[in-house]
């Protein structure tokens, strides 16, 4: 390329920062727009047809305004629900989605007891069931649809203090004991959840491997860019990056500081 690519990272809130940070490591010269649909958050409160319409409407505005080379849907719920519609609507735009990392979890597990910690919508999605059937046939898979973890993670990144008990109760069902074996791998099937990983590990009743799909998503985004646009181009200027909130609300002082640490000034 003769220029650095423009990458739009989209999420219902701030969980996609976990994906953005991994892509930025691989593509430090890229131009980034991070779009948080905070006006629609949380997506778990929407019906499926309404949510698809919401995602398409927000994406239409972002694509029209920013003309990205690639859109990374850094949200399991949006990806498993609306990715086919997005690709059909904008066939000329590259899209990379986020799906539960069930395949690597099944390969990693020694006890063959794995859990998928997700939102209720992702747990209920047919796509998730197909992943289990295709890649985890030899495992007992426990699906845990948390109603509150995404909100807790969102509150935490806004600088609010989160009680350990609130987190512990949301992850408790992930830990299964059966015939002397224990769950040994847990898939974090919401991009918000790695924001709480330190608390998860501290509050877990026994050690497990936690799978965060963000590095794999970043590698896939880079692969798609290389295949379609070529390697990252050097850029003598500081990379242009900004965060956009669909509500139009200005971030609080603590959130602005957090975004700055990610190298994302709010627009």
Cα Rg, the chain, nearest whole Å: 18
Cβ pair 75, 12 in contact under 8 A: yes
Q: Greatest CA span in the chain, whole angstroms? A: 59
Euclidean distance between CA atoms 219 and 235, whole angstroms = 20
Q: Distance (Å, rounded) from C-alpha 65 to C-alpha 61? A: 6
According to DSSP, the residues that pair with 142 across neighbouring strands are 115
CB neighbour list of residue 206: distance below 8 Å, 6 or more residues apart: 175, 182
SS3 for 80?
helix
Which of 35, 75, 139, 174 does the annotation list as catalytic? 75
Give percent helix, percent strand, percent coil of the chain, each to the nearest 5.
Answer: 45, 20, 35
Please report the DSSP string for 135-190 in residue order. Answer: H-TTSEEEEEE-SSHHHHHHHHHTT----HHHHHHHHGGG--EETTEE--EEEE-S
Residue 190 annotated in active site: yes
Q: Strand (E) positions, the chain?
A: 6-11, 31-36, 70-73, 94-96, 113-118, 140-145, 177-178, 181-182, 185-188, 209-212, 241-245
Q: Which of 35, 139, 174, 190 is catalytic?
A: 190
Token pair 């995404």 in the structure block, residue: 150
Verify whether residue 35 is a known catalytic residue. Answer: no
Burial class (CB in 10 A: 0-12, 13-18, 19+), 93: middle
Q: What residues are labeled active site?
A: 75, 190
């Amino acid at each position: 390329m003769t220029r650095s690519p423009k990458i739009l990272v989209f999420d219902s809130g701030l969980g996609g920062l976990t994906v953005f940070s991994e892509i930025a490591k691989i593509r430090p010269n890229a131009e980034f727009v991070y779009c948080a649909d905070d006006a629609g958050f949380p997506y778990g409160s929407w019906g499926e047809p309404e949510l698809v319409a919401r995602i398409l409407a927000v994406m239409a505005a972002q694509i029209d305004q920013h003309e990205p080379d690639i859109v990374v849907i850094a949200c399991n719920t949006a990806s498993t629900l609306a990715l086919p519609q997005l690709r059909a609507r904008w066939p000329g735009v590259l899209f990379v989605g986020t799906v539960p990392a069930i395949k690597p979890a099944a390969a990693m597990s020694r006890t063959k007891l794995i859990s998928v910690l997700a939102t209720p919508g992702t747990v209920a999605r047919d796509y998730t069931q197909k992943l289990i059937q295709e890649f985890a046939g030899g495992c007992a898979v426990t699906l845990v649809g948390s109603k509150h973890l995404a909100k807790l993670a969102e509150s935490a990144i806004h600088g609010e203090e989160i009680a350990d008990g609130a987190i512990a109760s949301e992850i408790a069902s992930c830990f299964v004991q059966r015939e002397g074996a224990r769950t040994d791998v847990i898939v974090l099937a919401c991009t918000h959840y790695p924001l709480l990983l330190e608390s998860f590990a501290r509050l877990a009743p026994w050690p497990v491997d936690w799978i965060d799909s963000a590095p794999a998503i970043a590698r896939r985004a880079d692969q798609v860019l290389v295949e379609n646009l070529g390697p990252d181009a050097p850029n003598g200027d500081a990379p242009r990056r900004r965060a956009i909130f669909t509500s139009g609300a200005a971030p609080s002082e603590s959130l602005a500081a957090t975004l700055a640490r990610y190298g994302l000034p709010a627009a």
